[in-house]
A and B are shown apart, each in its own frame.
Chain A
Amino acid sequence: MKKALLSTLLAGVVTLAVEAAVAADLRVGYSADVTTLDPANHRSRVTEGVILNMYDALLARTDDMKVVPELAESWKQIDATTWEFSLRKGVKFHSGAEMTAEDVKYSFDRLVKDNAMGGQTSPRKSLLGPLKDTSIVNPTTVRFHLAEPWPILAAYLPFQQVVSKAFVEKVGTPGMATQADGTGPFKLVEWRRGDSVILERFDGYYGGSPDLPPVGKAGVDRVIFKVIPESASRVAALLAGEADIVDELPVHAIKQVEANPRTKVLSTNGTRSFFIPMNNTRPPFNDVRVRQAANLSVDRKLIIDRVLSGLATPLDGLLSPESYGFNASLPKLTLDVDRAKRLLAEAGHPNGIDVTLDVANAFKDVAEAVASQLTRAGIRTKVQLWEQTTLSQTWAKPESNNRDMVFQSWGDGALDPVGIFVPVLKGKDRGNYSGFANKEIDALLTSADTEVDVAKRSKMYQDAQAIVARESPLIFLWLPQDVYGASARLKNWKPSPRGVIKLHDARVD
C-alpha cells in the first residue's frame, strides 16, 4: 500500500506544471474570490474586476480617468434630467444574440427598480443616483430619465454592465449568480467556487471602445483568476511562474519581485485616500489651532519612504490629484514642529496634550509612525488597536464617542468629489468621523450635487477644499499606490487607477 502510494506520488511529481507551458493563458493570482457573477447583485470591486472582463458597459474610463463611449457610440444630454445614448450596432452577446435597446433598458430597470431582481432590489441602485427610468427611442437609442439633475451620471456609468434580457429571463436572478452572457471580450468557461474563475476569448467580440485602443478581440486565449488569499502564497505563485499578475503585492515582497529577472513590479495611484479625522466636537481638537498643529507635525514624506517603501503620494487635502475638481493650489503641508508647538501654546497647551489614536489592526505600523511624530511635536499620542468593524461603528457618531483621533481611509473609484469629499466632510454624512460641520461647505456641496455646468461645479469643490485646508478637520496623509506583481512574459497591460484588472489588451509571450 505504501509502495503504491509512493509510486503514485512520484508519478504525479514527474508530470510537471503543464499549465505553465500553454502560451496564451493569462493567470491572475487574485486575493479574493468573487461573490457572484451577476453584474447587478454585488458591491465589491473584487467581484467587479472579474465581471467586467465578461460584460461591457455603456461607457468606459481611460487610464487617465476620462469617460469614453463603450457599448454606447455617443451620448448627449437632452435637458437637465434626460440623457440620450446611441448604441453601437452589431454588438453580440456571448450567446450570439445581438444587443439592442431592449437589453439596455432591461439592464438599467433591473438596477434601479425596486424588487426587480427576483423580489430583491439591486445593491447597486444608489450608484445610479436619481435615475428612475429608461425608455427606448428606437432599437439603437435609449433615454435615461432622472428624478433630479445629476451631473455625474456619465462618471458612474462605467460601473454598470449591460446584461441580456433573454438570458436573464431564461436563467433568472439565481442563475445569473453563477452563469454569464455578456458582451465583453471574454466568456465564462467555469467558476470553481473559492478556487478560480476560468474565462476564454469571445471570438464574436465587437472590439471594445475605439477610445481604448487596440480595438479587436482579446489578446490571450484564456484568462484564469486564481484565488490565492494569502499574500505570501500569492508572491510564491508569481515567483514560481504560476501567475502572470498578482494583486495586492505586499510591500515586503517588492525587492524580491524586482530582483527576479522573470518578474516585475507595477503600480499606479490608487483611489483610496488616507487621513486621520480629529474629533472636532470635543477638546482638544475642537480648537482649529490644535488641528493645524497636528497637520504641521507629520512628516508625510519620511513615512512614505520608510514605512510604505515610497509607494504613496503625499496629500495636502482629501482628494486624489487625479480627481475631478482637485484644487492644485492648496498650501503645501510640510513638517514644521516649531510652528506646531507655538500653535499648541496659543491654544492653551504650552505643555502639549495627551490623546489617543484609534486604528484597525491592519494599519498599526503606519499609525504608530504618525503617532511618534505627533508626540515629538507635543501631541503625545497613544495608539489603540481595534477590529475594523467595531471601529467604524464607534466612529459613526463622533459627537458621543469620547474619542480623539482615528486612522481612516476612504475609497472612491469614480474619482469625483461626490464619492469622497461629500461623505467625509459634509455635516453628519456617512463617513464624517471628525464630526466636522461647516455651513459654508455644506452649502457648496449641496449646490454642486446638482450643478450641471462642469466648470462651475469644479470651482465649487475647489472652494470647498480651500476652506477645509484652513479648518484642518483631518490630518491629511497620503494616497497609496495599488501595487501588482507581474511576470516578464506579460505584455500590454498596466494597472488601472480604477483598481480593476481588465485584460482585453493584455498578451503573454
Chain B
Amino acid sequence: MSPLRLAERLLQLIPVLLGISVIVFAMMALTPGDPVQIMLGDSLADQAQRDSLRRDMGLDLPVVERFFRFLGNALTGNFGLSFFHRRPVMDVILERLPATIELTLVAMLIAIAVAVPLGVIAAVKRNSLLDRIATVGSMLGVSMPGFWFGILLILLFAVNLHILPVSGRIGFGYEVKMATGFVLIDTLMAGRLDSFLDALRHMLLPAVTLGLAMSALLMRVTRTSMLEALSQDYVTFAEAKGLSRLRVVGRHALKNALIPTVTVAAIETGSLLGGNMIIETVFGWPGLGRLVVEAIFSRNYPLVQAAVLIYATTYVLLNFLADLLYTVLNPKVRL
C-alpha cells in the first residue's frame, strides 16, 4: 500500500474520533447523577466542600465550555484528572490497559488454535460425527454466559482440584518488574521462570473462558467459508490435477477460506478489548474493562471519555489491520 493511501486511512480516524467524543460527552452529560455527590457519599459535607470538589473536577463550567476544553486538552494528550483517583486519567488507564490487551491476545490465540483446525475438519468431513459434535459444541460455546462458565471453572480447578488460582494476574509472592506491562513477557525478560509460570497459571482460566466463547464463533465462520471454498472451481481443478486432499485443502482452499475468519477475529478482538469486563470481574483481572465499568457507575467522566476514545481507535486500527491481512492472504485484494 502506498504511504499516501496509508495516511488517508489514518486520517479517516479523525472524524470517527471526533464524532465519538461528541456522542460520549453528550451521553455522560445527559445521564443523571452527580460525581460530587457520589464521591462524598453520606458522610459530612458542606456546600464549600461541594463547591471546591466541583471546581477541582471542572464541573463548575457550562457543559459546552467543558466540551471544548476537553477537546483542546485531548489534542495535547491531556485527558484531565480522574475524579476519584485524582490522578491523570491516562496514567490510570495505561496502568490497566496492558492487562486487558494481554488477556485478549492470549484468548484470541486459544480461540484460533481451537477454531481453525476444528472448522476446517468440520467442513472437510461434513456431516460426520465430528462435524456434529463441533457444531453442537460451538452452539454451547456461543450461548453459555461467560460469568457462569468462568465460575464453574473456578469451582472445579481452584476450589476442588486446587491446581489453579481463583483470581488475579500473578501471585503476590512473585516479583514482576514491569517493562512492557505484559506480565508474560516481562517475567521472561527478567529471566524469572517461576514468575512466568505463575502468571501463566493465573492467565489460564480467564483466557480459556474468553477464548472458548470466541472460538465457537470463529469455528462456525471457518467451517462455512471453508465449505464455500471447497465448492469453488479452482478446488475442483486442483483435485483434477491430482493434488493430494491435504494439499488442496491446506494450500488452496484454506487461504481463501480464512479471509472471513480474519475479519471476524479482528473485529472480535476489538470488541473483546472493550467488552471483557465480565470476565475481568469474575477473575479479578486488573484490566481496563472493570475500571471503565466502575467509572461509568461513579460518573467518572474523564476516564470514560478517554477509555472510549482508546477503544474506538483500537477498533478502527484493528479493522485496518484486517484489511491489510487480506492483501497478504489474497493478493487479488487491493486496498
Contacts and interface: CB of A to CB of B under 8 A. Distances in A.
Interface of A: 2, 8-9, 11-13, 15-19, 22, 25, 27, 32-33, 35-36, 38, 41-44, 114, 120-121, 123, 125-127, 129, 156, 174, 177-178, 192-196, 198, 222, 224, 226-230, 232-233, 236-237, 239-242, 389-390, 392-394, 410-414, 418-420, 423, 430-431
Contacts of A228: 166-168, 284
Given A15-B198, A19-B171, A230-B284, A36 B154 contact: no
Contacts, number: 182
B286 A393 contact: no
A166 B239 CA distance: 80
B39 interface: yes
Contacts of B44: 126-127, 129, 156, 418-419
Nearest to B40: A43
A129 B96 CA distance: 37
B41 A233 contact: no
Contact of A389 (B38, B48, B194, B291): B38
Given A193-B96, A226-B284, A240 B173 contact: no
A8 B281 CA distance: 26
A102 B290 CA distance: 41
Contacts of A232: 151, 154, 282
Nearest to A272: B42
Interface stretch (B16-24, B49-57, B123-131, B310-318): B49-57
B22 to A, nearest CB: 23
Nearest to B178: A192
A227 B172 CA distance: 12
Contacts of A16: 162-163
27 contacts: A11-B197, A15-B194, A15-B197, A16-B163, A18-B171, A19-B173, A35-B85, A36-B87, A38-B86, A41-B86, A43-B43, A125-B49, A127-B44, A156-B44, A177-B85, A193-B286, A194-B99, A194-B287, A195-B284, A196-B172, A230-B282, A236-B155, A389-B38, A389-B297, A394-B32, A413-B43, A430-B45
Contacts of A174: 87
B151 A35 contact: no
Nearest first, the 9 closest Cβ-Cβ pairs linking A and B are: A194-B286, A389-B33, A126-B49, A195-B286, A121-B52, A12-B197, A237-B166, A228-B284, A193-B95
A423 B37 CA distance: 13
A393 B40 contact: no
A423 B53 CA distance: 19
B149 to A, nearest CB: 13
Nearest to A129: B44
A236 B284 contact: no
A120 B52 CA distance: 8
Contact of A12 (B95, B169, B201, B287): B201
A459 B56 CA distance: 40
B286 A8 contact: no
A359 B191 CA distance: 54
B151 A233 contact: yes
B204 interface: yes
Contacts of B158: 236-237, 240, 242
Contacts of B163: 13, 16
Contacts of B85: 35-36, 177
A44 B197 CA distance: 35
A240 B284 contact: no
Nearest to A194: B286
B46 interface: yes
Nearest to B293: A229
Nearest to A271: B42
Most chain A CB neighbours (cut-off 10 Å) among B31, B53, B198, B284: B284
B273 to A, nearest CB: 16
A149 to B, nearest CB: 16
A2 B113 CA distance: 9
Contacts of A17: 162, 165, 171
A43 to B, nearest CB: 5
B185 interface: no
Nearest to B169: A195
Contacts of A123: 39-40, 49, 53
B235 to A, nearest CB: 27
A242 B43 CA distance: 34
Given A42-B86, A412-B43, 15 more contacts: A18-B198, A43-B40, A126-B46, A192-B169, A193-B95, A195-B286, A222-B172, A226-B284, A228-B166, A232-B282, A236-B159, A242-B165, A389-B32, A390-B32, A420-B42
B283 interface: yes
Given A177-B87, A193-B95, A194-B291, A233 B282 contact: yes
B49 A229 contact: no
B223 interface: no
Contacts of A125: 48-49, 52
Contact of B290 (A22, A126, A194, A222): A194
Interface string B292-331: 0010010100000000000000000000000000000000
B78 to A, nearest CB: 14
Given A35-B85, A43-B39, A430-B45, A229 B172 contact: no
A393 B33 contact: yes
B284 to A, nearest CB: 4
Contacts of B48: 125-126
A431 B43 CA distance: 10
Given A194-B96, A233-B282, A431 B197 contact: no
Nearest to A38: B86
A491 to B, nearest CB: 21
B267 interface: no
Given A120-B56, A236-B151, A411-B41, A229 B32 contact: no
Given A228-B166, A236-B166, A393 B32 contact: yes
Most chain B CB neighbours (cut-off 10 Å) among A156, A230, A411, A419: A230
B198 A12 contact: yes
Contacts of A18: 171, 173, 198
